[in-house]
């Protein structure tokens, strides 16, 4: 018996099985709209208001990212969970993006989206740039979801999120920024707005949830039902 050939066949079968699993995951992932809400200083109340207005059966996956110290305690998920009908948890490496669930970017890690719709966490290190990085999240989301990606830039200092919003726009997604009147700190939304033709909607925080529902339904109509 040719043991080398047998070993090669086993490897090929394993690769083929892995390929099938990945293809299956890709089919489940295809069609799911993804909303990324990013903010910094002054962003907690706008986040709570938006999530409180989203229905339990919201048809998109949601990622929430707020700048925080790498050593911060995990308080965001419990706060948001108390304000929304959606399922909320702190994101863990390998979590899938599924409709009706909110994943909160954890302290100490940059939160990325892999091509198969999974969360990937990397250590954010001890030094800036912004942590967690909205630009990294939005850029990887744009690459993974293309026109199914919806970015929402909310209150905060600095310009984190503006470059990521540009990538979302360039790859066919939708960008929303909260307006000056309802942004406690307008710098982050303003930085995105000042990018040429990147932001599709500048609206009050109170109007964002209804807009997200409409955009998510539009994505589903264009790509087929989202899988849960």
Q: Which residues are catalytic?
A: 40, 67, 160
Q: Which residues contact 98 (CB under 8 A, 6 or more apart)?
A: 32, 61, 227, 228
How many whole angstroms separate alpha carbon 178 and alpha carbon 125?
30
Nearest to 97 by CA among 112, 80, 78: 112
For the CA atoms of 143, 128, 109, 114, what is the dihedral angle to 10 degrees?
10
CB distance 151 to 136 below 8 Å: no
Q: How many residues does the chain have?
A: 228
How many whole angstroms separate alpha carbon 128 and alpha carbon 126?
7
Structure tokens at 153: 């830039």
């Amino acid at each position: 018996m040719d043991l080398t050939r047998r070993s090669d066949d086993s490897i090929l079968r394993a690769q083929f099985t892995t390929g099938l699993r990945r293809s299956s995951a890709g089919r489940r992932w295809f069609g799911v709209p993804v909303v990324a809400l990013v903010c910094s200083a002054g962003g907690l109340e706008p986040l709570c208001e938006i999530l409180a207005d989203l229905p339990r059966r919201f048809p998109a996956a949601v990622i929430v990212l707020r700048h925080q110290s790498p050593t911060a305690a995990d308080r965001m998920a419990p706060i948001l969970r108390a304000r929304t009908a959606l399922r909320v948890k702190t994101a863990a490496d390998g979590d899938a993006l599924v409709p009706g669930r909110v994943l909160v970017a954890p302290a100490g890690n940059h939160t990325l989206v892999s091509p198969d719709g999974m969360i990937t966490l990397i250590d954010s290190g001890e030094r800036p740039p912004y942590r967690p990085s909205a630009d990294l999240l939005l850029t990887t989301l744009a690459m993974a979801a293309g026109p199914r990606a919806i970015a929402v830039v909310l209150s905060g200092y600095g310009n984190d999120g503006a470059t990521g919003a540009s990538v979302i726009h360039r790859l066919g997604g939708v960008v929303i920024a909260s307006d000056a009147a309802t942004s406690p700190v307008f710098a982050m939304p303003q930085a995105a707005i000042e990018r040429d033709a990147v932001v599709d909607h500048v609206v009050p925080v109170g109007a964002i949830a209804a807009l997200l529902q409409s955009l998510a339904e539009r994505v589903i109509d264009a790509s087929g039902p989202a899988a849960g």
